[in-house]
């Protein structure tokens, strides 16, 4: 396949309806593609894959496209295997490769991305963007049923972020400076001194939010709001994580310009939950860069969200899928099952699906999962359940197709492109 703008979906190997029954045989609801041709997606529209853990999403969907797609990519890479297998070839393609690896999964070196860089974008607005960063820190990590505590903590963060951005030296404008303001021995005295010393120079929102916190009742309210705020930055207590949020090692304006970049975000599976906010911060920062574009790149930026549920209820996902096509972004989200999507987005999960041009399903392990998929795409649950290990269902332009899955370990297209995957002993790669 020479067209490097296409996303690889599978290989068609079946004659129409071979081995399939459908709800309505007359209508041939599920058809297979004739011949042995690659099935790809080069048009507009996002993609969504549903496949359980261990079904080979990386091996048959993510890695083949990282070894093929010419445009810029951002990929959540929990195990680091996507980086290990594909980063050399991405460099050969002329890309600057960025490895955000705060836990040293690959090695001790990590790139850095400072969320405060959004204040340097052309469409930046101090108050609004301070609230955006505060939202990214706190959303999806609610500590109390009573929203007052979360809203108050979010307001305090908005004020501290705008204060740091306005009055701190450039090299100290980052979330670590915000964190240090909240873990002092006496936070109240420290913030009161800030108002006394810098009040007349502070941004109005910073002044008002800090003052509002200081005026809270001392006995219960203020300590509870502070405890809530501190709980949101627990993920930054590790020095190596904190360092990756300091001065960026690449330019966010290169993301805006659509320059050839391959960004791997490597957070191990056992830390995805505890460091959910870190993941949201980086994806949210890149989202702000995407929406700053005034010129769409020749090839869309491919945002591959593996383990998408680990972002929690992430409002930006809905915006990415419903609006970001107009900013030159193609989102490919990966889910373990449809119930994850329904649970996290109970009001909008159907909207997310309806805004995807391609749906991909494989690896269903039980009748319930097969039934959910079958009802969604209009095929019999058994047709889904009894797919072989190499087969999948692709729904493109509303039409369900059966096709084989790409397997980079066996496909000659990838022979000289891939490096050894540390998670597989069998490989055609170097």
Residues β-bridged to residue 75: 264, 304
pLDDT digits (tens, 9 = 90+) for 315-351: 888 888 988 888 999 999 999 999 999 999 999 999 9
Helix (H, G, I), strand (E, B) or coil at 31: strand
pLDDT surpasses 50 at 17: no
pLDDT digits (tens, 9 = 90+) for 153-196: 999 999 999 999 999 999 999 999 999 999 987 999 999 999 99
Nearest CA to 58 among 411, 407, 358? 407
Q: Work out the burial of residue 216: count CB atoms within 10 Å of its CB; fewer than 13 is exposed, 13-18 middle, 19 or more buried.
A: middle
Q: What radius of gyration do the chain's Cα atoms show?
A: 23
pLDDT, greater one: 96 or 319: 96
Mean pLDDT of 222-247: 94
Distance CA 404, CA 336 (A): 20
Measured between alpha carbons, how far is residue 25 from residues 30, 373, 378, 379, 388 in Å?
9, 18, 12, 10, 21
Mean pLDDT of 398-417: 89
Residues β-bridged to residue 97: 262
Mean pLDDT of 131-151: 79
Q: How confident is the model at residue 26 (pLDDT cuts 50, 70, 90)?
A: very low
Q: Which residues of 83-95 are buried (b: 16+ CB within 10 A; e: fewer)?
A: bbbbbebbeebeb
Q: How confident is the model at residue 135 (pLDDT cuts 50, 70, 90)?
A: very high
Distance CA 318, CA 351 (A): 8
pLDDT surpasses 80 at 288: yes
Nearest CA to 279 among 312, 254, 302? 312
pTM value is 0.92
Measured between alpha carbons, how far is residue 65 from residues 37, 90, 129, 255 in Å?
16, 11, 33, 20
pLDDT surpasses 90 at 44: no
Helix, strand, coil percentages (3-state) for the chain, rounded to 5, are: 45, 15, 40
User: How long, in residues, is the chain?
Assistant: 430
- Phi, psi torsion values for 129, nearest 5 degrees: -70, -30
Going by C-beta distance under 8 Å and a sequence separation of 6 or more, which residues neighbour residue 201? 166, 167
Q: Where exactly are the structural domains of the chain?
A: 7-101+261-414, 115-236
Question: What's residue 18's pLDDT?
Answer: 36
Residue 342: left if φ>0, alpha if ψ -120 to 50, beta else—which one?
A: alpha
Helix extents (H) in 22-172: 57, 63-66, 81-92, 126-138, 147-167
Strands (E), 220-296: 261-265
**CATH architecture of residue range(s) 7-101+261-414:** 3-Layer(aba) Sandwich (3.40)
Question: What's residue 316's pLDDT?
Answer: 83
Least confident of 16-20, 271-275, 279-283: 16-20
Helix extents (H) in 168-251: 175-182, 187-198, 204-214, 221-231, 239-243
Token pair 């010419």 is found at: 70
Q: Which residues of 35-49 are buried (b: 16+ CB within 10 A; e: fewer)?
A: eeebbbbeeeebbbb
Residues β-bridged to residue 263: 74, 98
pLDDT > 70: percent of the chain: 91
Q: How confident is the model at residue 394 (pLDDT cuts 50, 70, 90)?
A: very high
Question: What's residue 319's pLDDT?
Answer: 86
Question: What's residue 427's pLDDT?
Answer: 61
Distance CA 336, CA 161 (A): 36
Least confident of 30-39, 52-61, 248-257, 283-292: 30-39
Mean pLDDT of 76-81: 95
Dihedral angle sign, alpha carbons of residues 271, 276, 280, 282: negative
Nearest CA to 15 among 39, 40, 41, 35? 35
Q: How confident is the model at residue 214 (pLDDT cuts 50, 70, 90)?
A: very high
Helix (H) or strand (E) holding 332: strand 329-335
Q: Return the half-sphere exposure (C-beta side, CA atoms, 13 A cut-off) of residue 395.
A: 25
Question: What's residue 269's pLDDT?
Answer: 92
Q: How confident is the model at residue 425 (pLDDT cuts 50, 70, 90)?
A: low
Token pair 């058809």 is found at: 31
Q: Return the half-sphere exposure (C-beta side, CA atoms, 13 A cut-off) of residue 358.
A: 26
């Amino acid at each position: 396949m020479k067209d490097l703008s296409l996303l690889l979906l599978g290989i068609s190997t079946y004659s129409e309806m071979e081995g399939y029954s459908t709800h309505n045989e007359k209508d041939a609801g599920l058809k297979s593609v004739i011949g042995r041709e690659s099935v790809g997606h080069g048009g507009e529209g996002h993609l969504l894959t549903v496949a359980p853990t261990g079904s080979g999403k990386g091996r048959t969907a993510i890695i083949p496209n990282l070894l093929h797609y010419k445009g810029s990519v951002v990929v959540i890479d929990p195990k680091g295997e996507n980086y290990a297998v594909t980063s050399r070839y991405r460099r050969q393609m002329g890309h600057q490769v960025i490895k955000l690896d705060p836990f040293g999964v690959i090695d001790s070196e990590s790139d850095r991305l400072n969320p405060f860089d959004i204040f340097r974008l052309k469409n930046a607005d101090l108050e609004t963007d301070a609230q955006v960063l505060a939202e990214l820190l706190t959303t999806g990590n609610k500590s109390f049923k009573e929203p007052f505590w979360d809203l108050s903590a979010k307001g305090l963060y908005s004020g501290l972020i705008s204060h740091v951005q306005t009055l701190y030296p450039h090299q100290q404008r980052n979330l670590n400076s915000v964190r240090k303001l909240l873990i002092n021995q006496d936070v109240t005295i420290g913030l009161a001194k800030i108002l006394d010393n810098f009040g007349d120079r502070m941004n109005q929102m910073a002044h008002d939010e800090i003052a509002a916190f200081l005026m809270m009742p001392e006995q219960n309210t203020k300590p509870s709001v502070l405890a809530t705020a501190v709980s949101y930055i627990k993920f930054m207590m590790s020095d190596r994580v904190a360092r990756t949020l300091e001065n960026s090692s690449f330019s966010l304006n290169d993301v805006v310009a659509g320059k050839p970049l391959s960004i791997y975000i490597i957070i191990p599976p056992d830390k995805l939950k505890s460091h959910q906010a870190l993941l949201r911060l980086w994806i949210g920062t890149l989202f702000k860069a995407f929406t700053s574009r005034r010129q769409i790149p020749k090839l869309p930026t491919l945002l591959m969200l593996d383990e998408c549920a680990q972002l929690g209820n992430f409002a930006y996902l809905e915006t990415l899928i419903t609006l970001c096509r107009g900013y030159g972004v193609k989102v490919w989200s990966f889910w373990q099952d449809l119930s994850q999507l329904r649970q996290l987005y109970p009001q909008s999960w159907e909207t997310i699906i309806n805004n995807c041009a391609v749906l991909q399903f494989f690896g269903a392990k039980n009748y319930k999962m097969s039934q959910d998929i079958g009802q969604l795409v209009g095929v019999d649950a058994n047709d889904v359940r009894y797919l072989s290990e190499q087969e999948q269902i692709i729904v493109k332009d509303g039409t369900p197709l059966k096709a084989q899955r790409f397997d980079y370990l066996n496909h000659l297209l990838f022979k000289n492109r891939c490096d050894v995957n540390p998670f597989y002993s069998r490989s055609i790669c170097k």
